[in-house]
Structure 1
Amino acid sequence: MSWQPDPARYDADRPGAMQYRRAGASGLKLPLLTLGLWHNFGDDVPLERQRELILGAFDRGVTHFDLANNYGPPYGAAESNFGRVLASDLGAHRDEVLVTTKAGWDMWPGPYGFGGTRKYLVASLDQSLRRMGLDYVDIFYHHRPDPETPLEETMAALDHIVRSGRALYVGVSSYSADETRRAHAILDSLGTPLTIHQPSYSMLNRWIETDGLLDAAGELGIGVIGFTALAQGLLTGKYLDGVPEGSRAALGSARGSLDASLSPEAAERLRGLARIAESRGQSLAQLALAWALRDERMTSLTIGASQFEQLEQNIAALGGLSFSADELTAIDELARDEPGVDLWAGARDSRD
């Protein structure tokens, strides 16, 4: 039986309805939760399960799908698999969805397969478009700072990508506040807005507050879409009694993972956050998502899912976005940076 989208997917009166926020000073609205295809959309996962997640997300008002050139495994597989779902089902609704991809980390061998050069960014996006079967993406990001390439070259490449019709909007990811200000100024001089920034952000990784990135984004009219809001699983509730066997933190991962040693003090803070969540009628994961969206400067959060039930539970967090002053004070006492959570700090520091 062919898939037909839920006609109530945009019904604001629907229980658990998706909400949307404008990306900075742009006219573009994003759903508060975006489906990220970093994990669970490679060739190691059955395509039918991927299809159920993508179409199920769309049925719940999730109109934004976040990819990158090297998401897999193998590299490129997530884009290819997403392209298959576009071709079989979602393509008929292309104008209702935002498709995002990125380039910056390693993608192919040799000196032109990574970084921030014009050659790499344009070639990578052309490959991404072929894999997905698209003429353009809605948002294209430079995935990380590249200290070996002048920022002027990288931003000129993003400007060219917009002017050539390959992307409608451009953004950056994991740039520091200072680098974001510089990138914004260069793009502004070229006539192309820096629309959005994608940083890591969670209760256990608050660098965008201390670095001044959130303030810079608000001042410059740049949207912010956080990733790893669940701190790579630490804020899912699985780690309340330490690191369980079989978890990502215990097994390690070439894609990045937490250190297997979670301190007793950190575990106690997680339990304290879980108690606050319970008092609000939320799971720890739902509390973490709601907290990360408490500031209107946060446009969206990119979340992953391996099962549709996880996606539904995360969307349910949107029913409890308000916090009392006492709740925020109690959370602040427990929500502190945890070593090993911010895997992208080195990328930010490489140019500064």
Structure 2
Amino acid sequence: MQINDKSGVKEYLADSQRYETMTYKRAGISGVLLPALSLGLWHNFGFVDNIQNGRDVLRCAFDLGITHFDLANNYGPPFGSAEENFGTILKKDFKNYRDELFIATKAGYDMWPGPYGNLGSRKYLMASIDQSLNRMGLDYVDIFYHHRPDPDTPLEETMGALADIVRQGKALYVGISNYESKETREAAQILKRLNTPFILHQARYSMFDRWVENDLLSTLEENGVGCIAFSPLAQGMLTDKYLKGIPKDSRAAKDKTYLNVETVTSNLEKVQLLDAIAQKRQQKLSQMALAWILRKPQVSSVLIGASSAAQLKENVKAVDNLNFTEEELKLIDRIIS
């Protein structure tokens, strides 16, 4: 929603009914409630993108009850630019709403040259949180994640750095991402000893990528940690984009972002069968795919990206129908197994 000030400049005033239609789920056993759908800024918010479009998407998200915005130090491109653009928009539009937002950032992937700009050392993580806060113009983030496991740094060092970031008031909670079940269990034990609130694990999860169901979800439940799923639409395969083939301007056609022609072609029949189920549920395929993940009690939220406000609105409609019959679930399992 927008209003005009006396100078004619459009200012943002959040929709007064923003919390009435969104579903919220608890992050593990913490006191935090997250929107069922959260907005990820991996794409569409870098310096190569139109910042006004990003601003429109963020405004739309908050008006729809999405309070959780997810970033990382290397989101862009270039690295750091998504955080910087987000900080610019935050200052213009969301300064008065800061306490209604749950803002996340991460560190763990390649960020700057040399031996201290990657993975999971204390040196890297402590520098990263300071840089991220500076780019976003924040005193703290609500949650800070270690973005991926570091096979060479002791887990005690990495988790100790996360604990100290909380003690220093730079983050309220911590999380991890892309960790296997065994590593997750060990991290949880260390953070518990350090009295550090570990509330979320961010993991790749979709109908076509169900690795978390092996034992990660049960490990998270045992430790009171919620799962937040990313890549829920399998890089666009679980949308109507590829139902009739591969458009020339699509990610798959450009062999871009983990998706290629071969992957889409080999899954096309499954996508079409799933779309038929979605139509019977009076949903788009993308909406059903999001609802399918949210049916899991361990899942606190699903991260979605959006290149436009219209696309965001379409995906948020997934919360209108989150229930599945046993027959639907069995049929989906047969198709995707």
TM range (shorter): over 0.9
How far has the Cα of 1:68 moved from its partner? 0.2
Is 1:60 aligned to residue 68 of structure 2? no
Q: Does structure 2 retain, via aligned residues, the 8 Å contact 1:183–1:194?
A: no
The separation in 2 between residues aligned to 1:250 and 1:143, in whole angstroms, is 29
Structure 2's unaligned 5+ residue stretches are 1-9
Whichever residue aligns with residue 28 of structure 1, its letter is: V
Partner residue in 1 for 2:31: 27
How far has the Cα of 1:265 moved from its partner? 5.0
Secondary structure at 1:148 match in 2: coil
Is 1:247 aligned to residue 250 of structure 2? yes
Counterpart of 1:216 (choices 204, 216, 219) is 219
Partner residue in 1 for 2:54: 50
Counterpart of 1:127 (choices 111, 114, 131) is 131
Partner residue in 2 for 1:9: 18
Q: Does structure 1 retain, via aligned residues, the 8 Å contact 2:27–2:226?
A: yes
Secondary structure at 2:75 match in 1: coil
Structure 1's unaligned 5+ residue stretches are 12-16, 337-352
Partner residue in 1 for 2:295: 294
Secondary structure at 2:283 match in 1: coil
Secondary structure at 2:149 match in 1: coil
Partner residue in 2 for 1:330: 331
Partner residue in 2 for 1:276: 277
**Two-structure CA RMSD over aligned residues (Å):** 1.0
How far has the Cα of 1:295 moved from its partner? 1.0
| Correspondence list, 1:226-245, <5 A | 226-245=229-248
Per-residue deviation, residues 178-211 of structure 1 (Å, max 9, x unmatched): 110000001111111321100000000000002x
Secondary structure at 1:114 match in 2: coil
The separation in 2 between residues aligned to 1:26 and 1:184, in whole angstroms, is 14
Whichever residue aligns with residue 314 of structure 2, its letter is: Q
Aligned residue-pair number: 328
Per-residue deviation, residues 311-345 of structure 1 (Å, max 9, x unmatched): 11111110100000000000011124xxxxxxxxx
Secondary structure at 2:166 match in 1: helix
How far has the Cα of 1:242 moved from its partner? 3.5
Partner residue in 2 for 1:166: 170
Q: Does structure 2 retain, via aligned residues, the 8 Å contact 1:218–1:297?
A: yes
| Correspondence list, 1:76-155, <5 A | 76-155=80-159
Per-residue deviation, residues 83-123 of structure 1 (Å, max 9, x unmatched): 00111111111000011000000000000000100010010
The separation in 2 between residues aligned to 1:235 and 1:150, in whole angstroms, is 38
Q: Does structure 1 retain, via aligned residues, the 8 Å contact 2:38–2:69?
A: yes
How far has the Cα of 1:264 moved from its partner? 5.1
Secondary structure at 1:85 match in 2: helix
More displaced stretch, 39-48 vs 101-110: 39-48
Secondary structure at 1:171 match in 2: strand
Partner residue in 2 for 1:341: none
How far has the Cα of 1:258 moved from its partner? 1.5
Is 1:179 aligned to residue 183 of structure 2? yes
Per-residue deviation, residues 223-278 of structure 1 (Å, max 9, x unmatched): 1100000000000121223433221122123xx32132136552111110000000
The separation in 2 between residues aligned to 1:54 and 1:335, in whole angstroms, is 33
Whichever residue aligns with residue 134 of structure 1, its letter is: L
The separation in 2 between residues aligned to 1:108 and 1:5, in whole angstroms, is 37
TM-score by length of structure 1 reads: 0.91
Whichever residue aligns with residue 280 of structure 1, its letter is: R
Percentage identity across paired residues of the two chains: 54
